[in-house]
Chains A and B, each alone.
Chain A
Amino acid sequence: MSARPPDTAAADGLSRPVTIVVLCWNRWALTRRCLDSLRENTDLERAEVLVVDNGSTDETPQGLAGYPWVRSIRNDANLGFVRGNNVGIAAAPPGADVVLLNNDVLVEQSDWLARLQECALSAPDVGVVGCRLTMPDGRLLHAGTYVLPDTLWGQQIGSGETEVGQYAADRTVEGVVFACAYLRRELLASIGGLSEDFESYFEDTDYCLRARGAGFRTVCCGGVTLVHDEHGSTSDDPSFFDGLFHRSRKVFEKKWKRSLEERYTRSLSWQSILNFPTGYAMSSRELLKGLDAEGVRTAYSYVYGPGSPFPPLEPQDSGDYLLNVIAGRRDHDGLGVVYAQGDVFERCRGRRRVGYTMLEVDGFPREWVRQANLMDEVWVPSRFNREGLLSCGVRRPVHVLPLGVDVDHFHPGIRSVANPRGDFVFLSNFEWGERKSPELLLTAFNRTFRAKDPVLLLCKVINRDPGIRVRDLVSRLRLSPSGGRIAFLHNRELPYHQLGVLYRSADCYVSAGRGEGWDMPLMEAMACGLPSIATDWGAHTEFVHDGISWPLRVKGTIPAVAKCPYYAGFSWAEPDPDHLSHLLRHVFENREEAAAKGRAAAAEMRERWTWRHAARRIVERVESVLAG
């Protein structure tokens, strides 16, 4: 049974003809479901569907006879995934691009093909385009792949995460799974079809690496999401799968291990914290991922533990494959970076030693300064901290290397959960303590609004200190029942990849604390496109300005009185409560201006402040250190 191959693309649609190759071997029910979804969601005036039947012995041949709009080719035997797909690629018209589509994929998005093609033709060096894949239960399955030379075990980016709209941008990735892969004709002309060194497995990563060798990028198209109901044709027979998988892995190792290793052009020993819920740990994780993407081979070791200011041993599992591999690498004695509080700098190992730290007040403790002076150089994320170190007597070079934000999980397209009352929601996300001045925010909000106003302050609050009773502290504020309404999300441990939903469910972010070493939640909120009000003092002034936020005036600085011993003798800001009240009211009454600031903030975060930007700045510095 054969349908007419497309020789020209429709004038109003695809700019090139496309052949969609669906390989199948038995399991007609899956193939039928895939074809039905294609028929429902693809303009077949613009593309042809070509089913390659790998010698099915079930009702597939008879079933296909009922699909006259499908062109089909029947192989006499099961040629395997690679050769079967190559039959389809070879049968595509010479001017057509090719989409390889597994028969266990469901297409539920009507513009999927046009978007894939748009992405493929967006630049001459795009060769392969994959897409987001979700599991049937709605969780994310795939947003690209990577493989490390250490293990040669391909990993799917984002797999298992709750779907919140993450990875929505088109991103250059190392590879994509070929459950859905758009192959541009220029690439096919350059490197041909899939490598028949493989029967099944690793052929997709191999193809993407070959494409890169030929000067073509692989892109994961964030605007297309298909459902992959993984039913590999080898999944019924585990021993067959194992044999096939391991044979392919050996072939892959022989072909690619060395070149994967050669992608690392620099190395460093990263001594920090990863697997505790702290700001250093969270940013450490992202910096390591960014450095890996920038070609830096990092080896991680825990810098705290017994004998340090933070004695607990670190849990082994980071929950992230890449980080676990990095943590398992052997340390080396070249460049060592301690990314932690300054009182563990002297634990730094390496021929060249760097201390990377931050603090929320205007100076640094004497012990931190002493240890900083043992380093070859010191890094801080902000000029605010650089001034603090120098004013306290650090004599080593101090460089400003700002942190970043994850724009794959924090962006304006992340899903929101709207509040049914339609309240305008101010959000603040903080750990309860003197530094965050919660009493200032709560009382200012409460007196600025009336209970009947359609506005709410939502505070996501963490308190791990048994000496602090947040309920009592809030009660003592004597907030007026007829004033602005306030709600709390207290001591909730929310998955980091979902936090964007929290921000997107609010209308304005407020960070009215007395001092910040960076203020990651503020940056995340801004990346999500929220307008923000932020104290105009501290490290975050590195990325906050009045074009993208409302700086909150400070009345001056006051002694930093808090439980934290590192603050003793230093100062922090005293935010102006009247100005906070004014800004809260202004944002509430000027929604369009607020939305515009939010959009500008998101754009600036994306363009200047991602973790890749942060990693690149570190790489530049690493090169200088090693050269010096």
Chain B
Amino acid sequence: MSASAEANGPGEPLRDLRRRLLLLARLLPVEHLRLLDADLDELEAETGASDFVLGLSDSVDLSASDVETALREVWARTQAE
């Protein structure tokens, strides 16, 4: 992956939004600014984490599968990232 591609990763639109919001929010009291900043931090972390939770579910049921089939699914998923 090139440096420019990495710079355009999944978190980039959010970082743009943060820059614009913080610019607009200069008129807000400082404590409001801090709260907004913290909210954006949280949102950014969750957005970034979405890449990592692919393949995870909230179900506690097991699904039967061939090892080869399961691996091919994972490889396809990681190739698509």
Q: Interface of A with B (CB < 8 Å)?
A: 162, 164, 277, 417, 419-421, 423, 442, 451-452, 456, 458, 461-466, 469-471, 474-482, 485-495, 498-499, 501-502, 505
Contact = CB atoms under 8 A, between A and B. Distances in A.
A468 B63 CA distance: 18
B31 interface: no
Contact of B71 (A466, A476, A501): A501
A491 B75 contact: no
Given A162-B66, A456-B78, A491-B60, A481 B9 contact: yes
B55 A490 contact: yes
A266 to B, nearest CB: 37
Contacts of A417: 67-68, 71-72, 75
A488 B70 CA distance: 10
What's the interface size class on B, roughly? 35 or more
Contact of A475 (B46, B62, B65): B46
Contact of B1 (A423, A451, A474, A476): A451
Nearest to B9: A481
B75 A419 contact: yes
B57 A471 contact: yes
Nearest to A479: B52
A543 to B, nearest CB: 24
Given A498-B66, A502-B71, A490 B57 contact: yes
B57 A481 contact: no
Contacts of A490: 55-57
Contact of B49 (A478, A487, A492): A478
B39 interface: no
Given A501-B68, A501-B71, A491 B59 contact: yes
B16 interface: no
Contacts of B70: 489, 492, 494, 502
**Which of B48, B52, B81 gathers the greatest number of chain A CB atoms within 10 Å?**
B52
A242 B1 CA distance: 66
Contacts, number: 122
A485 B79 CA distance: 11
Nearest to A480: B48
A282 B31 CA distance: 58
B51 interface: yes
B67 A474 contact: no
A423 B78 contact: yes
Contacts of B78: 419, 421, 423, 456, 485, 487
B13 to A, nearest CB: 12
A259 B63 CA distance: 45
Nearest to B53: A471
A494 B69 CA distance: 10
B74 interface: yes
A47 B55 CA distance: 55
A466 B58 CA distance: 8
Contacts of B62: 277, 462, 464, 491-493
B11 A487 contact: no
A495 B57 contact: no
Nearest to A164: B67
Interface of B: 1, 6, 9-11, 45-46, 48-68, 70-72, 74-75, 77-79, 81
B60 A464 contact: yes
Given A451-B6, A481-B9, A494-B70, A474 B63 contact: no
B6 to A, nearest CB: 6
B1 to A, nearest CB: 4
B53 to A, nearest CB: 5
Nearest to A162: B66
A461 B52 CA distance: 13
Given A417-B68, A458-B74, A492-B64, 4 more contacts: A469-B58, A481-B9, A485-B51, A491-B62
A494 B74 CA distance: 14
A420 B75 contact: yes
A140 to B, nearest CB: 14
Nearest to B44: A478
B55 A474 contact: no
Contacts of B45: 475, 478
A501 B67 contact: yes
Contact of A499 (B6, B10, B51, B67): B67
A417 B54 CA distance: 20
A419 B49 CA distance: 23
Nearest to A418: B75
Given A421-B78, A491-B62, A492-B70, A470 B6 contact: no
A479 B59 contact: no
A462 B10 CA distance: 28
A498 B68 contact: yes
A493 B63 contact: yes
Contact of B67 (A442, A482, A486, A494): A494
Nearest to A460: B70
Contacts of A486: 52
A176 B63 CA distance: 36
A466 B67 CA distance: 25
Contact of B74 (A464, A482, A487): A487
A488 B55 contact: yes
A487 B6 contact: no
5 contacts: A465-B60, A470-B56, A481-B51, A493-B62, A494-B70
A478 B63 contact: no
B68 to A, nearest CB: 5
A494 B64 CA distance: 6
Residue from B11, B53, B61 whose CB has the most chain A CB atoms within 10 Å: B53
Contacts of A162: 66, 68
Contacts of A478: 45, 48-49
Nearest to A453: B1
A277 B65 CA distance: 15
A478 B44 CA distance: 9
B57 A479 contact: no
A474 B68 contact: no
A134 to B, nearest CB: 16
Contacts of B64: 492-493
